[in-house]
Chain A
Amino acid sequence: MELGRLTPIIFTLASRNLFHDRIRLIATLVGIVFSVVLFTVQLGLFLGFQRMVSTMIDHASADLWIAPADTKGFEATALLEGRERFRALAVPGVADVTPVLIGFTYWRKPNGKSQTPVFLVGTSPGGLQPWNLVQGSLNDLSTPQAVAVDRSYFDRLGVAELGDYGEIGDKKARVAAVTKGIRSFTTTPYVFMPLDRARAYLGVPSASATYFLVRTAPGASVNEVRQRLQAALPNLEVITSEEFRARSRSYWLFGTGAGAALFGSALLGIAVGTVIVAQTLYSSTKDHLSEFATLRAMGSSRRYLYLTILWQALLTAVIGFAIAAAGSLGLARLSAESALPIVMTPSLIVGLFALTVTMSIVSAISAIVVVTRVDPVTVLAR
């Protein structure tokens, strides 16, 4: 027996009606694809932005962060004096306290004529160090003037390969290691170097740091250690990595309005898609009104009529989503090396599918209202 024969006729009717008018189907699919791709790109940019904002926090080896009071995000550049480290080390449950120094400065290109702002990250083993090294090694950073930069910033820094030089202030800086994919959401290149060299390049006192990364002793409660640290350092903030991540994201995404703009565009995409699908389903239902009246005359329940429309909506959603998801994945792949990559996660894809289906079902409401009013007697008059 043919498989098609086993398909419930309601699905056959709905899908044939849908495919019967191909122009209308294409218009509907274009609407859905446009809407879903726009939404996906905006949400993917949001996720990408979110990930970039917290990338340093994500890659730091820390249970707790000791930070200047009112720190809004990782890029804050207020300084800690340095003696806090020893107070922290004296707190029970603390295994290690590693300083990190960050700061904005300028990189003079090798041609000596132009300069560009850079974000220095002074690192220490066991704390925050560059990752995704594609050339050179962490050990190479211990050599004189050595720094690590990301390959994507070569043009900005005026360098072309390992061993090229630039200047920070009046000091030479040599590219000794190259990373891949460590990009800053501010578009200012990160330049990694050992902590002491960073202090020298930024001209800050020798013990100072921006943060202290705390690792707790095995078996110690992070929460309890945090409370003790906070008591020992009342003028500073002691926060978990999770809190710091959330705070940074919240500040940059919502404090600056960037996230709201992305969300706004995403919602606009959904609204446009819903209107297009609703309009198409409505006009399709109007065109097939005599068929719905015939169904009603034959004794069809309203539920059966609604299911026919909903199945059409669902089918449209699935086809539209498949095209849109493929397009979005392609865009995500193309943007992977860009300044602001579009991030597609499995949960985002699942969420988008649910959203597309919801959008189509909501769109079906206008069509359902039309068939609710259909009068079976009209069939007899024709």
Chain B
Amino acid sequence: MTEPVIEATDVVKYLGTGAGRVAAVRGVSLSLTGGELVLLMGPSGSGKTTLLSMLGCMLTPTSGTVRMLGRSTAGLAPERLADLRRRHVGFIFQSYHLFPTLTAVENVRLALEMSGERPWRAHAKAIGALETVGLAHKVKAFPRELSSGEQQRVAIARAIVGGIAAVLADEPTAALDSANGHAIMSLLAKIAKDPSRTVLIVTHDPRVLPFADRVVNIEDGRLVDKKQDGVDAHG
């Protein structure tokens, strides 16, 4: 059995203070291994984003442990968490969050150069990543010159460039029409075939279910078993 890319064990997360303090995640255990595409589904306020934040090393759990490639994030300072994200995690956001003043290739380069990659080498790798997502012909286009689907492809290229082990996507198809959503999911499913990489997608969108290797449901901060057609439904 391969070692998990991300492993959460009995993770609890409280948010807020005083009377406003709430348990957003209550004792979640979840393992994400390379080569699989996992959907994290649940209603609004169920704890999806908080769990994603902990799995993506943006937040540390109040209790329990999250391990990124075997390394616990417990007690890590914000700079150390940022370092883990930079080296191992690629995020894809609902509204893309591309830098409007940078071209497609520059947006992708940014992720590499933040890690110390030299500009010319980062440029070559960024071109390669854009080719992977089918945007070799749009490398010099600014986000405003790209369609929504193309912008999300650039965001995917930015998330996977540099051999990232965990791709975490937050509602990646929510802003896309059906055809573009399908294309993006096909692309993410293809990316998830790489055995060294795991893809976790937080979504409300039932149209993406056919692409999942596994579906994890969360309600009130807890993972729950739900019957899904044709896919495993386990944490």
Contacts and interface: CB of A to CB of B under 8 A. Distances in A.
Interface of A: 1, 5-10, 12-13, 16-17, 20, 290-291, 294-302, 304, 376-377, 379-382
A7 B103 CA distance: 14
B229 interface: no
Nearest to B99: A291
Interface in B72-95: 79, 82-87, 89, 91, 93-95
A9 B170 contact: no
A295 B59 contact: no
Interface string B48-62: 010011001011000
A329 B82 CA distance: 48
Interface stretch (B27-35, B115-123, B181-189): B115-123
A301 B82 contact: yes
B25 to A, nearest CB: 13
Given A16-B101, A294-B97, A380-B53, A299 B114 contact: yes
The binding surface of chain A is classed by DSSP as: helix
Given A13-B110, A294-B99, A298-B114, A377 B58 contact: yes
8 contacts: A1-B120, A9-B106, A9-B110, A9-B122, A299-B82, A301-B83, A380-B53, A382-B97
Contacts of B82: 296, 299-302, 376
B97 A290 contact: yes
A300 to B, nearest CB: 5
Interface in B16-66: 49, 52-53, 56, 58-59
B113 interface: yes
Given A9-B102, A297-B91, A299-B87, A380 B114 contact: no
A13 B101 contact: yes
Contacts of A20: 100-101
A382 B53 CA distance: 14
A294 B93 CA distance: 9
Interface of B: 49, 52-53, 56, 58-59, 79, 82-87, 89, 91, 93-95, 97, 99-102, 106, 109-111, 113-115, 119-120, 122-123, 158, 170
Contacts of A381: 49
Contacts of A301: 79, 82-83, 86, 114
Given A9-B122, A20-B101, A299 B170 contact: no
B52 A380 contact: yes
B102 A12 contact: yes
A302 B59 CA distance: 16
A24 B114 CA distance: 27
B101 to A, nearest CB: 4
Given A16-B102, A294-B99, A9 B49 contact: no
Contacts of B101: 13, 16-17, 20
Nearest to B52: A380
Given A5-B120, A6-B120, A298 B106 contact: no
Given A298-B86, A301-B82, A382 B119 contact: no
A382 B94 CA distance: 7
A297 B86 CA distance: 8
Contacts of B91: 297-298, 379-380
Given A16-B101, A298-B86, A299-B114, A380 B170 contact: yes
Nearest to A19: B101
Nearest to B54: A377
Contacts of B56: 297
A83 B86 CA distance: 86
B201 to A, nearest CB: 13
A244 B111 CA distance: 63
Contacts of A297: 56, 58, 85, 91, 93, 97
Given A298-B91, A299-B86, 8 more contacts: A5-B120, A6-B119, A299-B84, A300-B82, A300-B86, A302-B82, A379-B97, A381-B49
A20 B110 CA distance: 18
Q: Which 6 A-B residue pairs are closest in the complex by CB-CB distance?
A: A299-B86, A299-B85, A16-B101, A294-B97, A9-B113, A299-B82
Contact of A299 (B53, B89, B95): B89
Nearest to A294: B97
B221 to A, nearest CB: 16
B83 to A, nearest CB: 7
A139 to B, nearest CB: 70
Contact of A9 (B52, B83, B94, B109): B109
A381 B53 CA distance: 11
B86 A5 contact: no
Contacts of A298: 85-86, 91, 110-111, 114, 158
Contacts of A296: 82
Contact of B119 (A7, A17, A380): A7
B114 A379 contact: no
A233 to B, nearest CB: 71
Contacts of B49: 377, 380-381
Contact of A5 (B58, B87, B115, B123): B123
A297 B158 CA distance: 12
Contacts of B79: 301-302
A294 B94 CA distance: 12
Contacts of A295: 110, 114
Nearest to A14: B101
